[in-house]
Structure 1
Amino acid sequence: MTAFEAFMQLPSGAVGLGTPRAYRCGCGRQIFFRNSRCLSCGTPLGYVPSRLALYSLDPGFAPGTWCIAGSGKTSPSFRRCANFTTAAACNWLVEPEDSSPQQSLCKACRLNRIIPDLSQGENQVLWLRMERAKRRLVSQLIGLRLPVASKVSEDVEHGLAYDFLRPTPGRPRVMTGHHHGIITLNLDEANDAVRERVRVEMGEPYRTLLGHFRHEVGHYYWGLLIEGTHWQDASRRLFGDERLDYAAALKANYEQGPRPDWRQHFVSAYASMHPWEDWAESWAHYLHLRDTLDTAASFGIQPGQVGIEAEPFCDADLWDPKAPNGRAFLEMMQAWSRIAGVMNEMSSAMGQHDFYPFVLPRPAVAKLHFIHCVVSAVPAVDAERRTCRP
């Protein structure tokens, strides 16, 4: 067994297979992350975030409660998230310890601070797309054992919250961004035509809802995991000094474009704009590759059987060549190169843009390894109630 194979076979929530993505109904048929009912047998389904799994459900002992199918009515009971019946169509369950009259929302939905005006039909469609992307993100964060606490109802100082805003004529522009734990997302980004137009206008190879969620939450975790900790000096040496004038860097980027040599140092052109953006872009790419590899492993896709060879990374490409996770990380990167390569070919076969339209330069790999080390060092005990200073 290689170090990567061992890496992927660790229990859910450990550093290896963070978030399982393959599930089966009690009837034996395949079910998928977004399903709330089995399309084969009609059994109700619900996602239990603490268990990182989608389950078939039986009615619970108390009215309005559910239990995992086959576990008996004396087993822990769950409630549907209150957003199950809204446009968000949330299929997550409220955990037994959270199931109180005061807590009707699931782990993902309680992060919402402002939701769109649902009296407008288009907003309902766009919000559903936003929520599906957010649930994918939050499930991965939980799988990586990162702290996920609501700034609205759980941790006002260190928590996370989302404002979903729609541009309104005569009012200031809605800018997607992060500020002190509040992530604002422009609802128009959920409009495929608008998002593609912006992607082309900005000359971006990749622009997705999930990519936005991963990037912006990277800013949040920089403040939570890096700022003021022993990681900060190393982060500045690797990504640059985040105290550089952000407004000036943004202005220079839009007026002069990215650094001419960005391909040799950064994961994307936007990452070259400012150290904060380098971190957030690198964080997003780390989540991209981890979730993709989790999905491949969940469905039995073996990177070693993919007939694509990539130039191997080596110890010199690591942030810390002496790190005990170095070998497994390098094998993970090799697996990623193979999976991304074959997925790009699959995308071409369907006439789509490349699945992963990026080339990782060696300095960017060191940044990914740094992030991997930070994530691996997050304590696993009582994650929701910690300030998470490593």
Structure 2
Amino acid sequence: MQVFNCDQCGHLVFFDSDHCLHCGATLAFLPQTLEMAAMQPLEGGWWQRAVPAAEDGAQLFRFCRNRIEYDACNFTVAGSDPHALCVSCRQTRWLPDLSDPSNLRRWRQIEAAKRLLYYNLARLGLQPQDGWHGPVYHLLEDIEGQPRVMTGHDNGTITLNVAEADDEERARRRVSLNEPYRTLIGHFRHECGHFFWDLLICDSPSRLERFRELFGDEREDYGEALQRYYAKEDKFSGWQDEFISAYAQSHPWEDWAETWAHYLHMVDLLETAASYQTHVTVPGPTTLHDQRVENPFGRQRPDFNTMLEQWVPLTLLLNSLNRSLGHLDAYPFALSAGARCKLLWVHELLQEHQRTGLPAL
């Protein structure tokens, strides 16, 4: 995630900002151009940029209805767009009961993570365009007497149990499942990986062949594979050489989704570090090795090997900073040779997509 500056005063602002703390300007994120802008109110609920960009002219915007009614979004809707909801919020098709204050709080947190996913996918050229649609989301709560809501993906729909927004509940599940990492954005990045497997790989014989070489045969019964995984007493050992996480060994589809999520972790963290012009110097026994983090979306984009060379010391620094504050490692993983090969293929697929575009659905 890049950092932003208020275009009215130049002060540092962030992706989820709705006001500049320095000059007080009302801020909004423009998903069409991936910009943060200071906004000026007009009559009738319309807004325009306080400092218009040359290419915008006098373009009009509205705030997403979820900002107006719930203070739950900072995206805009273009004046020519008939929808009341922004492009991220309108992807949510089912909500929990928002009259419950707990659900309202959970929903706000979940939508914030989903907007970050929107940004990640947009930077990779993976947001909905003419000819295909993106995933839709069901944000559901457990209801007494009904089956428990399971987070997952099914035929283009990503379901998330809103209890995952509760730190206590998420930590409980992380410990009970022996997971080193469990976050809302992690869930979204993982589950959208299943969606993009269907879009990028499923109907391409050449890609499917390569997928099976790297990840295994996805025709293995999925339900039985998960049952075997959860029944294994040694599932948390022996996976490190070929997989990016313990759960990735459960089935080729889960291996892909875990790898896909890690690639999104990688490019987002590298972009953030590059926005701060981060240099990481790794102390060695005789010399210091300095790495200046490059923006994976910059004009001169680094190749995958360069990204990996910068990723490893960056995560070491990140984890060391966390430990200094008494927190767990923010990135509790080590990339094996097998995991790197899989990440490289994700990178190559996305590079090919940027050259040729996505198939129509």
SS of 1:71's equivalent in the other structure is: coil
What residue number does 2:254 align with?
Answer: 277
Cα distance in structure 2, aligned partners of 1:205 and 1:108: 29
SS in 2 for 1:63: helix
Query: Following TM superposition, by how much is the alpha carbon of 1:70 offset from its aligned partner in structure 2, in angstroms?
Result: 1.9
The alignment's TM-score, normalised by the length of structure 2, stands at: 0.89
- Any conservation in 2 of the 1:21–1:294 contact (CA below 8 Å)? no
Question: Are 1:63 and 2:39 matched, yes or no?
Answer: no
Partner secondary structure for residue 51 of structure 1: coil
Q: How does 1:41-56 map to 2 (within 5 A)?
A: 41-56=23-38
Retained in 2: the 8 A contact 1:64–1:79? yes
CA contact (8 A) 1:87 1:127 kept: no
CA distance in 2, matches of 1:113, 1:49: 19
Inter-partner Cα distance in structure 2 for 1:141 and 1:37: 25
Q: Does 1:361 align with 2:340?
A: no
Q: Give the alignment partner of residue 92 of structure 2, picking from 109, 112, 118.
A: 112
Q: Distance in 1 between matches of 2:359 and 2:355?
A: 12
Q: Among 268, 273, 284, which residue is 1:291 paired with?
A: 268
Aligned amino acid, residue 88 of structure 2: A
Q: CA deviation at 1:298?
A: 1.1
Distance 1:327 1:269 in 2: 29
Is 1:182–2:166 an aligned residue pair? no
Query: Which shows bigger deviation, 82-91 or 179-188?
Result: 82-91
Deviating 4+ runs (over 6 angstroms): none
Could you tell me how far apart the structure 1 residues matched to 2:338 and 2:79 are?
A: 45
CA separation of 1:41 and 1:259: change in aligned 2, threshold 3 A: closer
1:252 to 218, 221, 228: 228
The residue that corresponds to 2:73 in the other structure is 90
Please tell me whether the aligned partners of residues 147 and 388 of structure 1 are also in contact (alpha carbons under 8 angstroms).
no
- Work out the CA distance in 1 between the residues paired with 2:67 and 2:283: 42
SS of equivalent residue, structure 1 residue 45: strand
- Residue 219 (1) aligns with residue 194 (2): yes
Alpha-carbon offset, residue 63 of structure 1: 2.6
| Alignment partners' CA distance in 2, 1:338 and 1:67 | 42
Q: Is the 8 A contact 1:379 1:388 kept in 2?
A: no
1:23 aligned to 2:5? Answer: yes
Q: Deviations over 1:188-217 (max 9, x none)?
A: 000100000110111111111110010000
Unaligned 5+ residue runs, structure 1?
A: 1-18, 310-324
Q: Deviations over 1:153-182 (max 9, x none)?
A: x97x75310000000111001000000100
Q: Distance in 1 between matches of 2:8 and 2:84?
A: 27
2:138 and 2:157 in contact (8 A); partners too = yes
Q: Is 1:342 aligned with 2:317?
A: yes
Q: Which amino acid aligns with 1:93?
A: T
Partner residue of 1:234?
210
* 1:266-290 deviations in Å (ceiling 9; x for gaps): 0000001100000000000000011
Does residue 307 (structure 1) correspond to residue 273 (structure 2)? The answer is no
Q: Which amino acid aligns with 2:260?
A: W
Is the contact made by 2:3 and 2:13 (CA closer than 8 Å) also made in structure 1?
no
Q: What secondary structure is seen at the aligned counterpart in 1 of 2:48?
A: strand
Q: After TM superposition, give the deviation of residue 236 of structure 1 in Å.
A: 1.1
Shift of the 51–74 alpha-carbon distance from structure 1 to 2, 3 Å rule, reads closer
Report the equivalent of 1:38: 20
- Which of 99, 119, 123 does residue 103 from structure 2 map onto? 123
Q: Is the 8 A contact 1:88 1:131 kept in 2?
A: no
Q: Does the 8 Å contact 1:44/1:56 carry over to 2?
A: yes
| Residues 88 and 124, structure 1, Cα contact 8 Å, conserved in 2 | no
Q: Separation in 2 of the partners of 1:159 and 1:334?
A: 32
Contact 1:59–1:66 (Cα < 8 Å) also in 2:
yes
Q: Matched residues in 2 for 1:241 and 1:158: separation?
A: 27
- Deviation string 1:243-262 (CA, Å, 9 cap, x unpaired) is 11111110011111427421
Are positions 1:198 and 2:198 aligned together?
no
Structure 1 residue matching 2:303: 3-state secondary structure:
helix
Look up the match of 1:352.
Answer: 327
Structure 1 pair 308/363, CA: closer, same or farther in 2 (3 Å)?
Answer: farther
Give the CA RMSD over aligned residues. Answer: 2.3
Q: Are the counterparts in 1 of residues 237 and 246 from structure 2 also a CA contact under 8 Å?
A: no
Counterparts of residues 258-269 of structure 1 (less than 5 Å): 258=235, 260-269=237-246
Q: Secondary structure of the equivalent of 1:265?
A: coil
Does the CA contact (< 8 Å) of 2:240 and 2:246 recur in 1? Answer: yes
Deviation at 1:96, TM superposition (A): 3.8
Distance 2:25 2:61 in 1: 16
- Work out whether 1:147 is the aligned partner of 2:127: yes
- Confirm or deny: 8 A CA contact 1:308 1:338 kept in the other structure: no
Structure 2 gap segments, 5+ residues each: 285-299
CA distance, structure 1, for counterparts of residue 127 and residue 246 of structure 2: 29
Q: Residue type of the partner of 1:193?
A: E
Deviation at 1:147, TM superposition (A): 3.2
Aligned-residue offset at 1:86? 3.6
The answer (yes or no) to whether the contact 2:6–2:20 under 8 Å persists in 1 is no
For 1:136 and 1:308, the matched residues in 2 are separated by 33
Q: TM-score, normalized by length of structure 1?
A: 0.83
